[in-house]
Amino acid sequence: MEKFSKWRDQGTGIQPFLQPVPARSEQQGLKRLLNAAKRYVVGPVVAVVRVALLGALAVVDAATTTVGGALGVVPSVKRGWTRCTRAAWARIALVVLGFYRIDAKTVSLQRGRRSANGKKASSTDGSVRSGDIVVANHVSYVDVLYLVSKYTPVFVEIDNATMFARPISPWQAIRAPAKATPALLQATEARPLKSITEEARTKRLGPVVVFPENATSNGRALLQLLPVFGEFGNLDEKTNIHVVGFKYPFQSFSPAYSVGNQAAHLFGLCCQVYNSLTVRMLASDEAPRVAESPMFCDSDAEPVDLDDAVADRLLQLTRLRLTKMSAMDKRDFLAFYYKRTKGYGSTGSSARTSSGGPPTI
């Protein structure tokens, strides 16, 4: 759409904010008729049932969270209860949404890597511990559900100026893509990432998830990554960094969510009989290490720029291109889009549109 051309990345020619649509080959002839039948005849019936099930899961999650609060006198018991229940509800929610089988693998970026006995080395993700940092690209609220089902982590929102962060709940993380990214966080809320990872480690709250794009893209490219690790106050030497990449293959409706009414997108997602998610986690021994940063590396060693190293690994892992569009560019885009579609309230409000569904490219 020409009216959104201002937000097309000049270097790559990619528009990273508009909702993706299927390739033309998927919209012709019999395929088009079948997709229309699934989406407009079978899909709505399936979606109504799924939305009802998701509502029931939300109620159950609230109930089990309340029970978990009563167990707070014993932190280890509370953590175990929360991990078991919330992870289970999140995985069930993914199944309800049509993600019956998730293609998740730990991979090595070193081709043909061999072990000492000459056999091909197997890449293991190691142990993701409380207080570790999971860095991932952000494409959809489904990312959050997967991470909850896998790690029951602590999610954070990043201040675009100071690079400090504030913890948010999983529900807030799910709703965050429907809102414009705050330009700044309240000074009383923003904390060095190190204090959050230390607290997570001490209280066994799980790993800390960082989305360095600080907003969702449409999955066609990466947004500009915030230099989170350039702020020395964020560096915790005891923390391991894990890099995760998300991609959503699709035929008729994309699970990627970058703009539009979130409820309408959720309903469209539920209309799909089957949805696909590909997750790639970098082998732990190939991930950047905080100990290699200029702050902690040995005097005779070459320091590593952690932000550059994370960006490089994430690009290779997702096989996407990096744009110069940032979370602040998306904030401007959302303001323009919702104003044009007459669903615009304010840049900090929930994404609302009178036209219902998201725009497409």
297 has pLDDT over 90 = no
pLDDT digits (tens, 9 = 90+) for 14-43: 999 999 887 665 556 666 677 666 767 788
pLDDT digits (tens, 9 = 90+) for 136-175: 999 999 999 999 999 999 999 999 999 999 999 999 999 9
pTM of the model: 0.87
DSSP-assigned letter for residue 118: S
Average pLDDT score, the chain: 86
pLDDT digits (tens, 9 = 90+) for 178-220: 998 888 898 889 999 999 999 999 988 999 999 999 999 999 9
How far is 261 from 252, CA to CA, in rounded Å? 18
Which CA distances in Å does 138 have to 96, 210, 217, 282?
Answer: 21, 9, 7, 16
Segment 313-324 mean pLDDT: 96
Angle subtended at Cα 90 by Cα 86 and Cα 93, rounded to the nearest 5 degrees: 140
From 144, 110, 114, select the one nearest 317 (Cα to Cα): 110
CB 236 within 8 A of CB 271: no
Which is higher by pLDDT, 255 or 65?
255
**Start-to-end CA span in the chain (Å):** 7
CB 156 within 8 A of CB 167: yes
pLDDT digits (tens, 9 = 90+) for 348-360: 444 433 334 444 4
Exposed (0-12), middle (13-18) or buried (19+): which is 56, by Cβ within 10 Å?
Answer: exposed
How far is 130 from 198, CA to CA, in rounded Å? 9
Phi and psi based region of residue 337 (left: phi greater than 0; alpha: psi -120 to 50; beta: remaining): alpha
Q: How much is the pLDDT for 21?
A: 83
> What whole-number percentage of the chain has pLDDT above 70?
84
221: its two tokens: 């490219």
Confidence of residue 276 (pLDDT cuts 50, 70, 90): very high
